[in-house]
Amino acid sequence: MACAQTGSGKTAAFLLPILQQLMADGVAASQFSELQEPEVIIVAPTRELISQIYLEARKFAYGTCVRPVVVYGGVSTGYQIRDLCRGCNVLCGTPGRLLDMINRGKVGLTKLRYFVLDEADRMLDMGFEPDMRRLLGSPGIPTKEDRQTLMFSATYPEEIQNLAAAFLKEDYLFLAVGMVGGACSDVQQEFVEVTKFSKKEKLLEVLKVTDKQISLDREQREREQALADFRSGKCPVLVATSVAARGLDIPDVQHVVNFDLPNNIDEYVHRIGRTGRCGNIGRAVSFFDPEKDGQLAQSLIAILSTAQQTVPSWLEESAFSGPGSASPAMKGFGATDLRKSRSFQKNDINQPTAQSAAEEEEDWG
């Protein structure tokens, strides 16, 4: 279980040793076989992220006998199955589509040596946990003592750590670089106090560019195009839901704007981590509406202080007088009455983005 801040290079930290080990031990050539039995499976919560990991794997494995393949939902399975059949040692996938491939008899897990969960806390939260149980309970899969299970993230809530132990070896290693759950100190964090009516105006002030905006609320193909246009610099602004909160590594992102703050502090840490990566400096501006975001104030102050950032005095005031001040430890649903959180999920449109991303993944298979 490994924890290091956003943008610090966790992808290479799991890919390189695994590829090196596969090359040292040799891999079986399984070209044109109907059933592929990869030595490595990597899972991540979003299609965009798993595509990025796949491209990194392909880059590092270039010119070797190790063959990475990617599968994810939202696009037709036909091409992915044909690609799989050409041979697969490292299978990168989102959980829904991976399970689909296993159920279709295209992927077998008997040769699995390494199982990697990127954004592990997200992969084990209530949105994805059932899928992970299904995956790790697939027929023929080596037991947790006979395979290596690796988990990577910048955040690890306690309750998720308890859950994770069930999938790891008895004496698993916990490796933390820096502060678990801390924000990257290369991101300058700013807060603007707003009301829901003044947000739009403030956004325009911050952006000063309002044209060429693109959105991730689209078909999968359009989503990938939007991201590609942003990556290449063709579009200077990317408007996205929390689907883009984690893992995406886009060079030269200078600015992250939290138009709506998430209702979970870990999600905030991941979002602002899209900038200030790999030693570069970044800036994050968040619109804080005391009426709506009050419950986040105390956690935000903790994050700001540990990242050596200035805490606005009005934010401190909000932390001690706002609606969340009675439950300072509230983080996700962990500290709330379960019955309340159940009705909260059903009725509140601001339900955790974590949950909606998983549902979306399921929708698309």
Binding site for ligand ATP (CB under 6 A): 4, 6-12, 154, 247, 249, 273, 277-278
Query: On the CB side of 141, how many CA atoms lie within 13 Å of its CA?
Result: 21
Span between the terminal Cα atoms of the chain, in Å: 28
Asked if 49 contacts 245 with a C-beta cutoff of 8 angstroms, the reply is: no
Q: Which is nearer to ligand ATP, 5 or 263 (CB)?
A: 5
- Pick one of Mg ion, ligand ATP, none as the site partner of residue 73 (Cβ within 5 to 8 A by kind): none
Least distance to Mg ion, CB of residue 247, Å: 4
Structural contact between residues 258 and 287, judged by C-beta atoms closer than 8 angstroms: yes
67 binds, among ligand ATP, Mg ion, none (CB under 5 to 8 A by kind): none
Q: Which is nearer to Mg ion, 238 or 319 (CB)?
A: 238
Q: Which is nearer to ligand ATP, 33 or 280 (CB)?
A: 280
CB of 149 to ligand ATP, least distance (A): 18
Number of residues that bind Mg ion (CB under 5 A): 2
Task: Tell how far CA 81 is from the center of its chain.
Answer: 25
From ligand ATP, Mg ion, none, interface partner of 154 (C-beta below 5 to 8 A by class) = ligand ATP
Contact 80, 71 (CB under 8 A): yes
User: Rounded to the nearest whole angstrom, what is the least distance from the CB of residue 4 to ligand ATP in the complex?
Assistant: 6
* C-alpha distances in Å from residue 253, one per residue of 53, 233, 272, 274: 18, 10, 10, 7
For the bound state, the minimum distance from the C-beta of residue 248 to ligand ATP, rounded and expressed in Å, comes to: 7
In angstroms, what is the minimal distance from the CB of 141 to Mg ion?
24
51 contacts which partner out of Mg ion, ligand ATP, none, CB within 5 to 8 A by kind? none
Residue 235 contacts which entry, Mg ion, ligand ATP, none (Cβ below 5-8 A, type-dependent): none
Nearer Cβ to ligand ATP (11/298): 11
Nearer to ligand ATP among residue 32 and residue 62 (C-beta): 62
Kindly state whether residue 247 participates in binding Mg ion, applying the rule CB under 5 A: yes
Distances (CA, A) of 266 to 85, 158, 178, 261: 39, 12, 15, 11
Count of other CB atoms within 10 angstroms of residue 105: 9
Kindly give the residue spans of alpha helices, DSSP state H, lying in 233-337.
Answer: 265-272, 290-293, 297-306, 313-321
Q: Name the DSSP class of 277.
A: -
Residue 49: closest CA among 239, 284, 233, 250: 250
As measured in angstroms, the least distance from the Cβ of 160 to Mg ion is 16
Length of the chain: 365
Do 276 and 307 contact (CB within 8 A), yes or no?
no
Q: Which does 96 bind (CB under 5 to 8 A by kind): ligand ATP, Mg ion, none?
A: none
- Cβ proximity to ligand ATP: between 17 and 140 the closer is 17
Whole-number minimum distance, CB 272 to ligand ATP, in Å? 10
Q: How far apart are CA 84 and CA 252, in angstroms?
A: 34
Alpha-carbon span 29 to 330, nearest angstrom:
51
In the complex with ligand ATP, which residue's Cβ is closer, 113 or 274? 274
C-beta of 143: minimal distance to ligand ATP in Å?
28
- If binding is defined by CB under 5 A, does position 322 make contact with Mg ion? no
Of 247 and 332, which CB lies nearer to Mg ion in the complex structure? Answer: 247
- Which positions ≥6 away from 198 have C-beta within 8 Å? none
Q: Which stretch binds Mg ion (CB under 5 A): 7-15, 17-25, 156-164, 260-268?
A: 7-15
Which DSSP symbol is given to 332? T
Binding site for Mg ion (CB under 5 A): 10, 247
